[in-house]
Amino acid sequence: MNVEKVGIRDSFLELGGHSLKATHLANRIELDTGVRIAIKDILTNATPEKLVKLLECSKGEEYEPILKAEVKEYYPMSEVQKRLFILAQMDEMSVSYNVPYCFRLCNGMPDEERLNSALQKLAERHESLRTGLCAVDGEFRQIVYPHVDFKLIVKTLEKGEIKDEFENFIRPFDLELPPLLRAELVKNTASEGWLLLDFHHSIVDGYSIKQLLKELGDLYDGKYISEPALQYKDYSEWLTKRDISSQGVFWKKTFETMLEDKELPTDIRRSDSTEQNASVVKRKMDWLDSKQVDKICSDHGITAHMFFISILSMLLARYYDCEDVVVGIPASCRVHPDTEKIVGMLVNTLPVRLKPVRNMRFSEYIENTRNVLANALTNQEYPFNAIVEDSCVKRSKGKNPLFDVFFNYFDQNFSENITTRDFTAEPYEIDYVVDKFDLVFDVIVKDGVYSLDITYKTGLYFEKTIQQMSEHYVNLIRWALKHEFDTIVHAEMLSETEKFHQGTKKKFDTTLTFPDMLRAKVEICGEKTALVCREQSMSYQQLLKESSAVAAAICEFDFGAENIVGVMAKPGFGMFVGAIAVMLSGNAYMPIDPDYPDERIRYMLHQSGCKLVLVEEGAKDFHLDSDIHAMYIEEAVQHVQCNLPEIKPEQLAYVIFTSGSSGQPKGVMIEHRSLANMIQWNNDYYHLTDKDKTTKYAGFGFDASVHEMYPPLAAGAEIHIIPEELRLDIRGICSYIDNHYINIGFFPTPICELVSKEKCKALKMVITGGDRLKSYSKDYTIYNNYGPTECTVLTTVFAVDKAWDSIPIGKPIANTEIYIVNDFGQLQPTGLPGEIWIGGAGLARGYINDEKRTAERFIPNPFRKGERLYRTGDIGRWLPDGNIEYLGRNDNQVKVRGNRIELGEVESVCTSRCGLTQCVAVVDNSTGSDRIVLFYMANEDVNPTEVRKILSDCLPYYMIPDVWIRRDSFPYSPNGKLDRNKLKVEATEVTLEKTSVSDYVTQKRQLTQYEKVVEDVWRNVLGLDNIGLNDNFFEVGGTSLTLVSVLTGLGQDFPGVLKIADLFANPTIEQLAGYIERSTIKTNRHILRAVKLAKNCFGGTREAQYHSIITGNIPEDFTNKFRAAVLFAVSRFAGNKFTCVEEKIAEDRYKTVECDLTEVMTLEETERKTIFSEEDWRLEHAIKNPSEGMCTIGIYVGDVSEISQAEQHQIAKIFDIWLQADIRQDGIHIWLKKNRKELNGTKTQQLMRLITGVVNAVAGNKSK
């Protein structure tokens, strides 16, 4: 503890104890007493008095030293060396695991020869500095070289800064070639310079480096240092005999339950091409009183390390939005007294699983953290690789398994100086960072002052985000020190400016209603055209006159105010007249789309309590119940006008039904004041005037229709109702727009996307919403609106100013507040996803006659007393510029072709109406258009045509499933929840043109030659018989260590093609085989074509050669005849209609020759149908396919003496059978060489006779 006196009641923790010191203390106690005390026991019995009592109750064992290893050619790597070796193989240019130091030289300059000699002696003392790492025949080896020549580099810094020289100094190591240490002396002037050192982490850890730096100074001064008792190879050999299986049990139990599949949010989407650079954000915490930290640690029996990692886990819990997080920490692994002086890489990485449960007191949580960390450190020797493999966690390229964030606590109250008689070398801080992990949090204490460094990957995060993260970390520390006995859920992480965002506070006239606005506009421009439909038009005065007449007719139904009046009309004037009339009468209109199924209409009428429906003649043949009255709009416009009632802002304006999760739609009640706020904001924001012309496109039953109708009328604009026949004719729509000089288009998102691809010269802006927008137009401005029906059509708006990967939905409109919260209702900071909650003037009253669902969605505002919020169920996140990015839904509510639906409603109706046992609906858009895919369980297959007919009576067309797939069961996650993600993947794989599972039949295709090779190697390495083409290597038993065996196996067939990184990036047979095929094509490699032989053709034991001579007439085109003869004979012998051979055509040049002998009866036909490959290939590029039952055959017509010995050797290696015809004076000499032992000799002789017979027929004479 570096203190002179220790009392028996002094606390180990208060004296500065931490986990590493606890490990050293445990080692010393074991050395003296034979008793091994667990780190957890040291922390919980933190005084000498308590430790003595613990020792008195413990049984000591005889101390067993680590023995020196026998001298061998090579030694096994330790597990941590294997991991670092594999990482180096994955990226040979990486310097992530270099350990560089820069020292500023003070008080003199070193003698170059003496410094070089000291470094050389250092390498002679410690074998780690003379060790190389390699993999041979699938084994990981470390080779200790007896001597390495160390060369100190000396440079003069003439230009530039030391930072530039330092960065150039750091470069990748070749782990096979020691020393894995570099040193450079940089001189600036006669008295100023720097010493640069760079180690590879595979040979040293931080503890070793401290020892090496001290020894370097002593060796420079010529001081005597005793020889090391043990070397790293002794440690690695000791590890092979050490039983740590009980530690493996601990880690398996730690991760026996699956982690939540949650990603730490990033600014830039992770991909295979993510930039692997890093930067650091530094933050001084000089406000933090170390005495405060010491006190809370002492009070709860924890170390400062435990306190700060507890805070980090709380931060990550908020960022992940869960109560189960994993943080990586280093562990020294020097748990045996003899390991304390060994130079080498002993450090292990531990994934610490912490659970900051929201309702737990912070004081209780930090004590839990102590127990978790203590248990982890007690089991610190179990290799990280093994923990990962035992946990069966899914791997992904470029992402660390199990955790994203690493944590270090550095106590820098010690010197790292190199002190000699000639000079002193002091650490010189240079901002050089590497990207080992996505995020690394370093809490550093020096001289009682704390600081925080966060290293981050610049390919994932922006600096501003990390600065915000550091602010959140500091805020949590401040909270914890003041509220240690409060529950975690109350922890304050956000600054005041982050807590919520709101639109501009606009003082609109709150007394106005839309009827007021319409009357005012009629007084100004009554004769102006208000509506245009096809060739007809209606003025503002006529619109108000007809609406008022219908309103008067409605008032004669003396049923009071705020009644729900249905309006059933097709796109046209009647739609406007009917809706406005209902509002003028003091009632609320309910739009009814005539295309709705009868059953849905009946439900809406019943749920709303509607007693009167305005109907446009010819709109729909529908029979109302006897207690509901129908009024035809065409008749009602003739009614005598009368005084209409005064309308108050708090009265209902309309009720619109939207899809509901219970299987039934729900009616949203919007008041006049909410509608008036939207209208006044809209016309203020978009600057609508009576000079504008707009479109009316949305269906009457959707809330977008409200946006298209009332703001333009309040502005005095001219609305063009898009004719029914043009609705899906995009070019027709654009022509209509240009012909009528329409400058503002209102379109749902899918139509907006299509319109933006056409030229519309008249358009100045397009207002869209309802789905994710992808388009941007240079010709006019597209405004992306977002808002649920429950908040009066729209809540946010974004002017699309450029092409975006993900177009934001914008900022809140006037008098609107947006809150983005996590699952626990805590406000989310910028960048973190959460549910969008909305408050303000646009909020609906609720759902009509549905108090339960109203209470679920419309809640008291926890951030502003006396106000309400709407829980949207939409997921979004704040962007740094104050806009919101929409990310999707948190439930089954989705958008399909621009229509918001609840998949629960689809499932409920399909189950009840189609005789299904159970069903699950998912949306797939892999083909570019939305499709509802219904997975169902039933006693028999459904007939899609029949069920669509049934469903069309009760569901709108856009809610009827497109694809039907029958299943015997559904997939579930480990926690018992339905795994919709697996079904979504399956839906994507299904050919969407198919309509039932009986139409969708997967047939197992033939494997390619590359796939066969990969499959065989996988089988041998993994010991499995059945492996699917798309099985993930790591999910069927593969590990990062067995990858080396795979690389070795594939290297025999594809030499030089693959690296470890390629295997990680292509973890399935199909992916890896495809990669190999592409790579071999790029390097002109050639997979040898092979012939399938019967099983009885195998069973031999040795190579053999057969020879025959044919005399007679030799045809001029003998080469062609011989080739055809071989193909013909091999086809008959193998029983294959399709056959192939590889033919030598010139010096070291070959071509593939193949022939389809289907319906071929003669040799002449064989010769005519023979096909050559377009490209030739070199023997050195040949890759043999060793698949079972396959045989490679090579042929050549020519003199064997013309083939070099080297080529003959290669021929014998890659061709199982080599056939050669040599024309001599005494006849045609044919040789058949059997180069593959496993081929049956008798069968091979039979093939030779068959070939000889065919060639003999060609020559027309006898053979001998």
Closest CA to 538 of 590, 575, 513, 567: 575
pLDDT value for 955: 77
Q: Which two tokens stand for residue 553?
A: 């007719």
Whether the predicted pLDDT of 24 surpasses 80: no
User: What fold is seen in the domain 1-64?
Assistant: 1.10.1200
Nearest 5°: phi and psi at 652?
-70, 140
Torsion of CA 79, 85, 89, 93, to 10 degrees: 140
> Which whole number is the average pLDDT over 343-371?
95
Cis peptide before 788 (omega within 30 of 0): no
Average pLDDT, integer, range 157-180: 89
Distance of CA 838 to the CA centre of its chain: 29
Q: Alpha-carbon distance 1072 to 866, whole Å?
A: 61
CATH of 75-239, one of 1.10.3090.10, 1.10.3720.10, 3.30.559.10, 3.40.50.720: 3.30.559.10
Provide DSSP, 773-820. Answer: -----SSSEEEEEE--GGGSS-SEEEEE-S--SS---BEE-TTEEEEE
Percentage of the chain lying above the pLDDT 90 cut: 50
| pLDDT surpasses 70 at 609 | yes
**1184-1196 burial, b for 16+ CB within 10 Å, e for fewer?**
bbbbeebbbbbbb
pLDDT of residue 976: 45
Strand ranges inside 955-1089, DSSP E:
963-966, 1086-1087
Pairing of strands 693-696, 718-721: parallel
How far apart are alpha carbons 566 and 568 in whole angstroms? 6
Cβ neighbors of 1056 (< 8 A, separation 6 or more) are: 1083
CB 1223 within 8 A of CB 1109: no
Superfamily per CATH, domain 893-999:
ANL, C-terminal domain (3.30.300.30)
Question: For the structural domain made of 280-493, what CATH number should be given?
Answer: 3.30.559.30
As a residue count, the chain comes to 1264
Beta bridge partners of 859: 869
Could you read off the pLDDT of 409-464 as tens digits, one per residue?
998 766 678 999 999 999 998 877 887 899 999 999 988 899 999 999 998 999 99
Q: Which regions of 680-743 does DSSP assign to beta strands (E)?
A: 693-696, 718-721
Residue that has been written with the tokens 């919260």 in this structure = 821
Give 137 or 945, the one with higher predicted confidence.
137
Given a cut of 60, whether residue 998 has pLDDT beyond it is no
d(CA 631, CA 637): 11
280-493 against 1091-1259: fold identical: yes
Contacts of 413 (CB under 8 A, 6+ apart): 445, 446, 447
Q: CA-CA distances (angstroms) from residue 135 to 131, 143, 1042, 1045?
A: 14, 11, 12, 9
Least confident segment among 180-194, 234-248, 1081-1095: 1081-1095
- Segments in 1084-1202 forming alpha helices (H): 1118-1134, 1163-1169
Please report the pLDDT score of residue 544 as a whole number.
Answer: 97
The two structure tokens encoding residue 7: 């009392």
Name which of 403, 470, 435 is nearest 274 in CA terms.
Answer: 435
pLDDT over 80 at 985, yes or no: yes
| pLDDT at 977 > cutoff 90 | no
Identify the pLDDT of residue 196. Answer: 96
Among 493-502, 974-983, 1019-1028, whose mean pLDDT is lowest?
974-983
Work out the mean pLDDT of the chain and round it to a whole number: 87
Dmax of the chain from CA atoms? 125
Q: What is the pLDDT of residue 662?
A: 59
- Token readout for 1026 is 């059945």
Q: Tell me which H or E stretch contains 195.
A: strand 193-200
pLDDT at 975: 43
pLDDT in tens, 700-726: 999 999 999 999 999 999 999 999 888
Q: Is the dihedral of CA 845, 847, 850, 851 positive or negative?
A: negative
CA distance linking residue 323 with residue 246, whole number of Å:
27
Answer yes or no: is pLDDT of 1082 > 70.
no
- Which fold does the domain 1091-1259 belong to in CATH? Chloramphenicol Acetyltransferase (3.30.559)
> What are the percentages of helix, strand and coil residues in the chain, rounded to 5?
35, 25, 40
Is 635's pLDDT higher than 50? yes
> Can you count the helices (H) and strands (E) in the chain?
35, 53
Question: How do the domains of the chain map onto residue ranges?
Answer: 1-64, 75-239, 280-493, 538-647, 816-889, 893-999, 1009-1083, 1091-1259
- Mean pLDDT (whole number) for 954-977: 73
pLDDT tier for residue 275 given thresholds of 50, 70 and 90: low
Q: Mind listing the pLDDT tens digit for each residue in 1203-1227?
A: 887 788 888 888 999 999 998 888 8
Give the highest mean pLDDT range of 536-550, 872-886, 906-920.
536-550
Mean pLDDT is highest, among 626-635, 1030-1039, 1115-1124, 1178-1187, for: 626-635
Whether residue 1056 has pLDDT greater than 80: no
Give φ, ψ of 900 to 5 degrees: -80, 125
pLDDT at 356 over 50: yes
Q: Evaluate if residue 261 carries a pLDDT over 70.
A: no
- Beta strand residue intervals within 861-930, DSSP E: 868-878, 884-889, 893-896, 899-902, 918-924
776 has pLDDT over 90: no
Angle at 1060 between CA 204 and CA 174, to 5 degrees: 40
pLDDT band of 792, cuts 50, 70, 90: very high
Are residues 790 and 857 in contact, defined by beta-carbon separation less than 8 angstroms?
A: yes
- The phi, psi pair for 453, rounded to 5°, reads -115, 130
Q: Domain 816-889: state its class.
A: mainly beta
Cβ proximity of 711 and 861 under 8 Å: no
pLDDT value for 900? 66
Residue 125 is classified by DSSP as H
First to last CA, the chain: 96
- Which of 62-66, 589-593, 652-656, 1103-1107 has the weakest average pLDDT? 62-66
Quick check: 786 and 796 in contact, CB under 8 A? yes
Beta bridge partners of 966: 936
Contact 306, 369 (CB under 8 A): yes
Average pLDDT over every residue of 885-908: 74
User: What tokens does 1156 get?
Assistant: 């389809």
Task: Select 1009-1083's CATH number: 2.60.40.1080, 1.10.1200.10, 1.10.1040.10, 1.10.10.10.
Answer: 1.10.1200.10
- φ and ψ at 650, to 5 degrees? -85, 0
Q: Is pLDDT of 742 > 70?
A: yes
pLDDT in tens, 540-555: 999 999 999 999 999 9
Q: What's the one-letter identity of residue 745?
A: G
The residues pairing with 1234 across neighbouring beta strands, listed in sequence order, are 1104, 1217
Amino acid identity, residue 350? L
Instruction: Out of 30-44, 1017-1031, 1047-1061, 1216-1230, pick the least confident.
Output: 30-44
**Closest residue by Cα to residue 311 from 149, 469, 460, 430:** 469
Q: Please, what's the b/e burial string for 464-502 (b: 16 or more CB within 10 A of its CB; e: otherwise)?
A: ebbebbbbbbbbbbebbbebbeeebeebbbbeeebebbb
In the predicted model, is pLDDT for residue 45 greater than 90?
Answer: no
What is the reported pLDDT for 19?
66
Percentage with pLDDT > 70 across the chain: 92
State the Cα–Cα distance between residues 131 and 134, nearest whole angstrom: 10
Query: pLDDT value at position 60?
Result: 63
How is 286-349 classified by DSSP, letter by letter? TTS-HHHHHHHHHHHT--HHHHHHHHHHHHHHHHHTSS-EEEEEEE----SGGGGG--S---EE
Of the two residues 986 and 797, the one the predictor is more confident about is 797
Torsion of the alpha carbons at 624, 625, 631 and 632, rounded to the nearest 10: 20
What b/e sequence results for 517-531 when a residue is b if at least 16 CB atoms lie within 10 Å of its CB, and e otherwise? Answer: bbeebbeeeeeebbb
Question: What pLDDT shows up at residue 430?
Answer: 87
Query: For 1002-1011, how does the pLDDT look when each residue is reduced to its tens digit (9 = 90+)?
Result: 334 578 888 8
Pick the CATH number of 538-647 from 1.10.10.10, 3.30.70.100, 3.40.50.10610, 3.40.50.980: 3.40.50.980
